[in-house]
Amino acid sequence: MSRLFKASIIENIQLVKNHYLITLHPLEKIKKPKPGNFFMVAVDHNLYPLLRRPISIHRWLNGDFQLLYRVAGKGTSILSRKKPGDILEILGPLGNGFPLKINSAHIILVAGGLGVAPMFALAELLKKRNPALYYGARTKKELLRIDELNALGLDPIIATDDGSSGEKGNIVNVLKRHIARHLSSISDNMLFACGPEPMLKALSLLAEKHGLQGYMALEQHMACGLGTCLGCVVKTTKGYRRVCKEGPVFPIEEIVW
Ligand SMILES: Cc1cc2nc3c(=O)[nH]c(=O)nc-3n(C[C@H](O)[C@H](O)[C@H](O)COP(=O)(O)OP(=O)(O)OC[C@H]3O[C@@H](n4cnc5c(N)ncnc54)[C@H](O)[C@@H]3O)c2cc1C
Ligand code: FES
């Protein structure tokens, strides 16, 4: 099965300002992505932007799939203007994805901002295990896919910076308070997270403090997505590692911030 494929756009809808959900139909059979895998999407045939843009698998729909993305710059802006029927050239699925053999009794999932894109896929896959899903965003408007999460029975615990939905403040502090209330059983949890770097750093400290095992999906600027350009390395306790190849998911205790 080739990892380079063409896909036609079924739908490319704006959810809220600058945030889009694109549904794609691969024109050939592709490998089923794992949560935490990503695709390198060529947003245009023109010379600029030359590079593909990395975007996580958000949802797998029996062969079709969805990506959830924010317009950050030129590439994603071009993507947001694509119409149903347009064809995209895509590489993937890439990266290691989240490990799915989980021995812990309980699962904690933390999504910050657009980190909900891959965490949705993981939550959907793990829903029978009743994971506790913590979801933080700047404001209510930027809480994406809440109805779909609720429909899956994954009622998230929410925090927003401005208090417009859920608890006011950051989601790591909410988790901290919950952990403090259930300290005796906390080591029997596995933590998975994706979100902005400050959130992941704070979660790493929390995990270290409580001896919590887990994994985080990291983001880095990427050029090739295939492990050859070394443009995406991060420092880990095992040396420098490529986010596109050995990652994007790393054990929490291996990440050197
Ligand atoms: C493994 C992986 C998975 C990702 N999954 C998603 C996803 O599901 N949804 C989504 O919206 N975005 C995701 N991203 C981020 C996305 O790739 C960038 O927002 C995108 O490449 C920006 O391209 P652009 O041409 O629009 O912006 P550019 O003009 O290239 O950059 C605009 C701004 O975004 C910043 N930026 C660019 N690339 C990255 C990056 N890789 N990480 C952090 N900041 C970046 C730049 O520093 C700049 O400030 C992911 C990134 C990685 C590495
Ligand atoms: S993007 Fe080229 S090595 Fe990771």
Could you tell me the residue ranges of all domains in the chain?
4-94, 106-254
For the chain, helix (H) and strand (E) counts, in that order, are 5, 16
Q: What pLDDT score does 45 carry?
A: 78
Q: What's the pTM value of the predicted model, to 2 decimals?
A: 0.95
CA 75–ligand 1 middle distance (angstroms) = 9
One digit per residue, the tens of pLDDT, for the chain of length 257 reads 569 999 999 999 999 999 999 999 999 999 999 999 999 999 987 766 678 999 999 999 999 999 999 999 999 999 999 999 999 999 999 999 999 998 888 999 999 999 999 999 999 999 999 999 999 999 999 999 999 999 999 999 999 999 999 999 999 999 999 888 876 677 788 999 999 999 999 999 999 998 899 999 999 999 999 999 999 999 999 999 999 999 999 999 999 99
CA-wise closest residue to 193 among 102, 116, 253: 116
Residue 35, preceding peptide bond in cis (omega within 30° of 0): no
Class of domain 4-94: mainly beta
Q: Helix, strand or coil for residue 83?
A: coil
Pairwise CA distance, residues 128 & 179, whole Å: 22
Q: What pLDDT score does 183 carry?
A: 63
Please identify which residue in the block is written with the tokens 């997505």: 225
For ligand 1, mutation pick of 40, 44, 48, 53 (most atoms within 8 Å of CB): 53
CA 119 from chain center: how many Å?
5
Nearest atom in ligand 2 to the alpha carbon of residue 225 is 1
DSSP assignment of 23-53: EEEESS--PPPPTT-EEEEE--SSSSS-S-E
CA 136 from chain center: how many Å?
13
88 lines ligand 2 (CB under 6 A): no
Sequence-distant (6+) residues with CB within 8 A of 187 are 210, 211, 212
CA 220–ligand 2 middle distance (angstroms) = 9
C-alpha to C-alpha distances, 163 to 14, 20, 156, nearest whole angstrom: 24, 24, 15
Count the Cβ atoms, other than its own, within 10 Å of residue 26. Answer: 15
Q: What pLDDT score does 105 carry?
A: 83
Q: What pLDDT score does 49 carry?
A: 66
CA 220–ligand 1 middle distance (angstroms) = 8
Domain 106-254 has CATH 3.40.50.80: yes
Q: Which ligand is nearest to the CA of 233?
A: 2
Q: What pLDDT score does 184 carry?
A: 65
Q: Are 83 and 12 in contact (CB under 8 A)?
A: yes
**Token code pair at residue 15:** 């959810």
Burial of 73 (0-12, 13-18, 19+ CB in 10 A): exposed
Pairwise CA distance, residues 118 & 112, whole Å: 11
